[in-house]
Amino acid sequence: MSLVFAFLCLILVVWVVFLSIRYKKLKHSFRRHKKALRSIARTINSIRYGNIYDTIDSFALSVLPNFSESMNRMIEAIVDREDMIKEYQKELNDQLEAQKEVVKLKEDFVATLTHDLKVPIIAENNMLNFLMDGKFGELTQPQKEAVFHLKNSNKELVELVEILLETYKLNETQIILTKEPILLSRLIEKVIDEMKPIAEANSVTLNFQNAVSEAVLVDEFYIKRVLKNLILNAVSFSTSHAAVDIFVEKSEQNFIIKIKNYGNTIKPEDLEHIFDKYYSTANKFRKVGTGLGLYLSNKIVNAHGGEVFASSDEEENSTTMEIILPNC
Ligand SMILES: Nc1ncnc2c1ncn2[C@@H]1O[C@H](COP(=O)(O)OP(=O)(O)OP(=O)(O)O)[C@@H](O)[C@H]1O
Ligand SMILES: [Mg+2]
């Protein structure tokens, strides 16, 4: 009996020893796995913060080989993608730089060309003035009329060249305004007087209705340019023998100038583009247009803190340009 008991005790002792060895081994293995998992977590975190070239270390690889290798392959795939994205980015940047260079070259070319064009046109104008004044002998009436038309065409050319030059300048620098109090009604009358020959040549009448006697604080040179551009558009896109109606009024906060012409309305889908640089439908009407008039006018009015709005009324067959200038 005691022998059986002793045998059972021995088995128990052996069992306990076996269990404690097994427990120690398990504990050791658990610690190693925990350490390996911590190391993997550290690597993942490091990748998350941008160190994409980190890999799972050799310790984790020895403890959890399959899992660690899969992780390393995943990291390699991320690195490959990242390198590809970087390459695309570099390509895009290079293309962007090349495009900027082309735009700069184009604008430099336009600036030089327009500047150089202006000189002979002015020289030509002086020569025409001499002709008109009879410096080369008295002209007959038809000759005088021909020279007068030549002078008008020359004036238009100078203006076209000036618009191009100004666009170039506005791209390079901000508009610097020299504001002073100006009587809008008087300024509009002055512009109408200057535009009358062109309006008459197009068989268009310019009507003006004024409801404002106060002065507005603006840069006269620039606002005159805006008025000229918009009135010239109104005349150019009018049907023959129509009138262009010009109104000026004042609300509590703004001065509002409206220029309304009849014929050739602007389609709703075109309205959002007409203020874009180089947008022009002038060639449809066999006219020359740079597509810069409204672009420049809008920029100038914006520089004054105002806005230009365009609208067309299909039923009335009219187009109205509205210049809003803040009363300050
Ligand atoms: N009063 C108007 N009536 C009808 N369409 C207009 C009127 N004003 C502008 N547009 C449209 O808007 C376009 C852009 O006008 P914008 O003045 O910028 O250029 P443009 O007159 O064609 O050329 P330019 O730069 O020589 O003035 C015109 O081509 C025309 O289609
Ligand atoms: Mg125009």
Both structure tokens of 311 = 């609208």
User: What is the pLDDT at residue 11?
Assistant: 93
Q: Which ligand is nearest to the CA of 280?
A: 1
Is the pTM higher than 0.75?
A: no
Q: Which ligand is nearest to the CA of 235?
A: 1
Residue 248: closest CA among 223, 211, 216, 222 = 211
Q: What is the DSSP string of 200-240?
A: HHTT-EEEEEE---SEEEE-HHHHHHHHHHHHHHHHHTSPT
Q: Contact at 8 Å (CB) between 225 and 195?
A: no
Whole-number percent of the chain with pLDDT over 90: 52
Q: Which residues lie with the beta carbon below 6 Å from any ligand 1 atom?
A: 229, 233-234, 237, 261, 264, 266, 274, 279-282, 289-295, 319, 321
Q: Does domain 180-326 have CATH number 3.30.565.10?
A: yes
Q: How far is the CA of 153 from the centre of ligand 2 (A)?
A: 16
Least confident interval from 1-15, 59-73, 165-179: 165-179
Residue 153: closest CA among 199, 179, 191, 121 = 121
Per-residue pLDDT of 131-182, as tens digits, reads 988 888 999 999 998 998 898 888 878 877 877 777 777 766 677 889 999 9
User: What is the pLDDT at residue 317?
Assistant: 94
* For range 214-220, the mean pLDDT: 94
Does 205 score more than 80 pLDDT? Answer: yes
Per-residue pLDDT of 17-47, as tens digits, reads 999 999 999 999 999 999 999 999 998 888 8
* For range 86-111, the mean pLDDT: 87
* For range 101-108, the mean pLDDT: 80
